[in-house]
Amino acid sequence: MNQYRVLIDANDEKGLVHKVSSVFYHNDLNILSNSEFVDAQNNKFFMRSVVEGEIDLNQLYELLCEVMPANANIEVIAPKKKNIVIMATKEMHALGDILVRHEAGELEANILAVISNYGDLGSFVAKFDIPFIEISHEGLSREEHEEKILECLAGFEEIDYIVLAKYMRILTPKFVEVYENRVINIHHSFLPAFIGANPYKQAYERGVKIIGATSHFVNNNLDEGPIIAQEVIHVNHAYSWRDMQRLGKDVEKVVLSRALKLALEDRIFVYANKTVIF
C-alpha cells in the first residue's frame, strides 16, 4: 500500500472538503488522519490529510487538481526521510539534542553534515559519525563567507531544510532567497519580545516573569520570520540574566527539535508571515 501526505491551501469556498474526500473515496483510499482550518478573516482554506491505498502519486495529484480551485496549492508527498544540514557556531545544547534524537530514530531525517564557522564542535559531532565541515569567517566579509557556505551546500544532491542550531551569524537576503522557508532558526526569547542580541539580558533588565524560546523560519527581517514553535518557563526577581540564560538553554533545544519534527512531518503551512500547523 502507498501512503501519501496531501497538503492543500486555497481560497475558501463551499464544498472543498467534500471534493477532496470524494477523490479519496472514489479511488479506494483510506484516510488515516485529516485536519482542516479556515482563516475566515483572509478567506483561506488549509487541509492536511494522510491517505493510504493503491494509487500513483502523480495520478492522485492530477485528480485533486481537477476538483480544486485554480488558485489552490496542492502537494502530494510520499513520506520519507528528509535531508537536512545543521549549522552551528560554538554552543552544543541545541545541536546535541538534535543529534541525540536522530541517533535514537526520533527524527525522519538524514543529517548530511554539520557546518560551523568554528572548529570547536568537530570532536563532538564526530561521536555521531556525521560529517563536520568548518568554514571559517575569519578575514572574510559576510558575503564572501556565505558564498563559501553556499558552494558547500550546492555540493549536496538535495537539501530539504537547513537548521540553525545556535548559528550566531545573520544571513544575507541572498542566502534566504536560495532556501526560502527552508531555514529553521532558534531564537532565545519569546518573540516578538527581545529581538536581536542578548535577549536574556534584555529580559532581565525589563524584569520579566517568564522567559522563553522561539523557533521560526528565517526571512530578511531579523527574528521576524514565520513562527513554528514556542515555549516558556517562569522566573522571578532572584534570577540574574546568566541564570536565565542557563535555564533558557533547556527550552531552546526542546523548541528547536519540536519545530524540526513538525517540518519533517510536513505539518507546516506558511502564509502571510504566519504558520498554520496540524
- Evaluate the omega torsion of the peptide bond into residue 79 and state whether it is cis, within 30 degrees of 0: no
- Residue pLDDT, tens place only, 78-99: 999 999 999 999 999 999 999 9
- Residue pLDDT, tens place only, 252-274: 999 999 999 999 999 999 999 99
Q: From the candidates 9, 97, 223, 266, which is the catalytic residue?
A: 223
Residue 115, number of CB atoms within 10 A of its CB = 20
How far are the Cα atoms of 9, 23, 123, 168 from residue 45, in angstroms, in the given order? 5, 18, 47, 36
Q: Which domains does the chain have, with CATH numbers?
A: 2-77 (3.30.70.260), 82-277 (3.40.50.170)
- pTM > 0.85: yes or no: yes
Q: Is 12 a catalytic residue?
A: no
At 202 the pLDDT is 83
pLDDT over 80 at 190, yes or no: no
- Residue pLDDT, tens place only, 140-162: 999 999 999 999 999 998 999 99
Instruction: Measure the CA–CA gap between 132 and 124, rounded to whole angstroms.
Output: 9
At 183 the pLDDT is 98
